[in-house]
Structure 1
Amino acid sequence: MSFPAELEVPVVDGADLSDVPVQRRLAGSEVVFTGRVWDVVREEVELPDGKTVVRDLQRHPGAVTVLALDGEENVLFIRQYRHPVRRELWELPAGLLDVDGEAPLLAAQRELAEEADLVASDWAVVADWFNSPGGSSEANRIYLARGLSAVPEADRHVREDEEKDLVPVRVPLAQAARAVLEGRLTNPGTVIGVLALQAALAQGPAVLRPADVPWPTGLSTPAR
């Protein structure tokens, strides 16, 4: 069946689709809550017709996620308790961009070492996304890490709090994708990373971007 002609929705070349940064005038901005990791900001934003609307948003430092893939195309997952959703989720190693001056790639390498006791020789970008753009500035990037080797035991990070109980497993990529599609894996980094990597590998590794490409859509990490 074709698309209903009366809706007059044009078909465009996918090569023309690209999100673009836009700076609309702020009539006001105030921090209404200061948290340990992120703040809540209330802003009055001017619309194109001159009217203004008030929006509350989470000002977030951004985060990185690592999809570590071994030579047999097994994905490394860690199980971690997430209190807001009252669940233990199977996740990819990930962490905040909360170290001043640390580049996103270095943050990803640090998180892989701290959460999985691994280093990787080959890095690429799988996908970028905004975690909840209607209410948060959080940008996230998933890196593909290959050429894995263990961090020497004497140099391993001492994990604390929820991270003390991390449980690592390896799962074939195809089986992980099936678990996502069946709704058994729900962490956003897991969902996006697994499905995006499967799509990328089907097209060939050349489709992946270099690990040092600029941060998503030119967005700088919001200052606290």
Structure 2
Amino acid sequence: MPELAGPAAAWPVVESEHRYDGGWVVKLREDQLQRPGHSEDEPFSRLVLEHPGASVVLAVDDQDRALCLWQYRHPVERSLLQLPAGLCDVDGEEPLGVAQRELVEEGGFEAAEWTHLVSSYSSPGISQEVGHYFLARGLTEVGRGDFEPEHEEAEMQVRWVPVQELADAVLAGGPVDGHLATAVLVVTGRGLAGSARARD
């Protein structure tokens, strides 16, 4: 298989300054870089979105329907069909734990079976975010506990959509949510879309 990621090897940073830190977990930093071995060159600027990563859940029921969320996203000024997901912003919490928590909080379900699908950089040209994708099976409705949705989440709607229909819609050309596209295409590409195949 081809190499898809090299070892961690940061280029020299001459200067670094936070451009935005609003007290939230995500911050914007500007670094002045130099190419390794070229200290005589002028440094050049790169913006870095400091991000703790996120877990994304493709929760599929016994009818091969995915639990989806219809939610408004202000940066793109439209509602999108998305999957339960959340930031890895609690110290010591593993991505799987984040996925399990978010499935309860956003969808009201627990899952008996968890499969890690893939971890990928969402937008490495500007962001540190790594998305950790999980397939959840054996769903049991448990409610949201004491989680109280607010802001955009207060308008969020749960929708059940067949996984194959999601795959077809993604391949139709978009625009679609990137996390949803990644999870659905990995699952269908690996032949995990059918409930029988998922348990083999």
Question: Shorter chain as normaliser: what TM range?
Answer: 0.7 to 0.9
Give the aligned CA root-mean-square deviation in angstroms. Answer: 2.0
Give 1:216's aligned residue: none
SS in 2 for 1:180: helix
Instruction: Indicate yes or no: 2:50 matched with 1:59.
Output: yes
Aligned pairs for 1:38-117 (under 5 A) are 38-50=26-38, 51=41, 52-117=43-108
> Residue type matched to 1:43 in 2?
D
Instruction: Indicate yes or no: 2:132 matched with 1:128.
Output: no
SS in 2 for 1:201: coil
Instruction: Indicate yes or no: 2:18 matched with 1:31.
Output: yes
Distance 1:152 1:137, change over 3 A: closer
Instruction: Indicate yes or no: 2:121 matched with 1:167.
Output: no
Give 1:19's aligned residue: 5
SS in 2 for 1:31: strand
SS in 1 for 2:159: strand
CA contact (8 A) 2:104 2:143 kept: no
**Structure 1 unaligned residues grouped into runs of 5+:** 1-14, 207-224
Give 1:194's aligned residue: 184
1:64-105 C-alpha deviation (Å, 9 max, x unpaired): 110001122211111000011111100000111122222111
Identity of aligned residues (%): 35
- Distance in 2 (alpha carbons) for counterparts of 1:147 and 1:61: 29
1:185, distance to aligned residue in structure 2 (A): 5.5
> Residue type matched to 1:18 in 2?
L
SS in 2 for 1:58: strand
Give 1:139's aligned residue: 130
| TM-score, with structure 1 as normaliser | 0.79
Give 2:170's aligned residue: 180
| TM-score, with structure 2 as normaliser | 0.87
Aligned residues: 191
Which 4+ runs in 1 deviate beyond 6 A? none
1:165-209 C-alpha deviation (Å, 9 max, x unpaired): 211111111111111111346101111111111001169769xxx
Distance 1:152 1:134, change over 3 A: closer
Instruction: Indicate yes or no: 2:144 matched with 1:158.
Output: no
1:128, distance to aligned residue in structure 2 (A): 1.6
> Residue type matched to 1:30 in 2?
E
- Distance in 1 (alpha carbons) for counterparts of 2:51 and 2:148: 26
SS in 1 for 2:135: strand
- Distance in 2 (alpha carbons) for counterparts of 1:116 and 1:205: 21
Aligned pairs for 1:204-215 (under 5 A) are none
Distance 1:202 1:103, change over 3 A: closer
> Residue type matched to 2:34 in 1?
E
CA contact (8 A) 1:117 1:157 kept: no
